[in-house]
Structure 1
Amino acid sequence: MAHARQRCLLITFDAFATLFHPLHPIPEIYASVANSYRLSGTPIAPAALQTAFKKAYKAESKAYPNYGREMVLRGEYGGPKQWWTGVIKSTFANALDKPDLQLPGGMVDRLIEIYASKEGYALYEEVRPFFDQLREYKTQQPVFDCIVTGIISNSDDRVSTVLRSLGLSVGRARADEDRSSTLLPGFEEATTTNLEEEGFYSKDLNMVITSYEAGQEKPNRLIFDVAARQVNRLLGAAKWTQYDLDNIDWTRIHVGDDFAKDYQGATDAGWHGILLDRDNTFTDSSDVEVINSLEALLPKIQRHATS
Structure 2
Amino acid sequence: MRAPLQWVLWDVTNTLLKVRASVGEQYCKEAERMGLNLDPVEVDAAFRQVYQHHCSKYPNYGITHSMDGQTWWMGVVQDTFSHCRVFSDSQKALESCSSLGLKLGVVSNFDKRLERILHVCGLLPHFSFLITSEEAGVAKPNPSIFDQALQKCGTLAASVAHVGDDYVNDYLTSRSMGIHGFLLDRHNKYKNSVPRQHRLSSLEELSSHLQLHMQ
SS of match in other structure, 1:208: strand
Q: Summarize the Cα distance change of 1:286–1:7 in structure 2 as closer, same or farther, 3 Å threshold.
A: closer
CA contact (8 A) 2:24 2:43 kept: yes
CA contact (8 A) 2:171 2:181 kept: yes
Structure 2 partner of 1:274: 182
Q: Summarize the Cα distance change of 1:285–1:54 in structure 2 as closer, same or farther, 3 Å threshold.
A: same
CA contact (8 A) 1:262 1:273 kept: yes
TM-score by length of 2: 0.91
Deviation at 1:293, TM superposition (A): 0.6
Structure 2 partner of 1:219: 141
Q: Report the count of equivalent residues.
A: 212
1:18 and 1:9 map into 2 onto residues whose CA distance is 20
Deviation at 1:221, TM superposition (A): 0.9
Out of 99, 121, 128, the residue aligned to residue 91 of structure 2 is 128
Summarize deviations over 1:201-249 as a string: whole Å, max 9, x none: xx411111111111111111100000011123xxxxxxxxxxxx7xx79
CA contact (8 A) 1:7 1:249 kept: no
CA contact (8 A) 2:170 2:183 kept: yes
Q: Summarize the Cα distance change of 1:84–1:134 in structure 2 as closer, same or farther, 3 Å threshold.
A: same
CA contact (8 A) 1:219 1:265 kept: yes
Out of 6, 10, 19, the residue aligned to residue 7 of structure 2 is 10
Deviation at 1:133, TM superposition (A): 2.3
Summarize deviations over 1:15-65 as a string: whole Å, max 9, x none: 000000011222111011012122x4xx11211211101001100000100
CA contact (8 A) 1:153 1:210 kept: yes
Backbone CA RMSD of aligned residues = 1.9
Structure 2 partner of 1:91: none
Structure-to-structure mapping, 1:50-69, within 5 angstroms: 50-69=44-63
SS of match in other structure, 2:14: coil
Identical-residue share of aligned pairs (%): 29
TM-score by length of 1: 0.65
Structure 2 partner of 1:154: 109
CA contact (8 A) 1:12 1:254 kept: yes
2:157 and 2:55 map into 1 onto residues whose CA distance is 38
Out of 115, 137, 151, the residue aligned to residue 81 of structure 2 is 115
Q: Summarize the Cα distance change of 1:249–1:152 in structure 2 as closer, same or farther, 3 Å threshold.
A: closer
Higher gyration radius (CA): 1
Runs of 4+ in structure 1 over 4 Å off? none
Contiguous gaps of at least 5 residues in structure 1: 1-5, 73-77, 89-110, 139-146, 171-202, 233-244
CA contact (8 A) 1:10 1:250 kept: no
Q: Summarize the Cα distance change of 1:273–1:165 in structure 2 as closer, same or farther, 3 Å threshold.
A: same
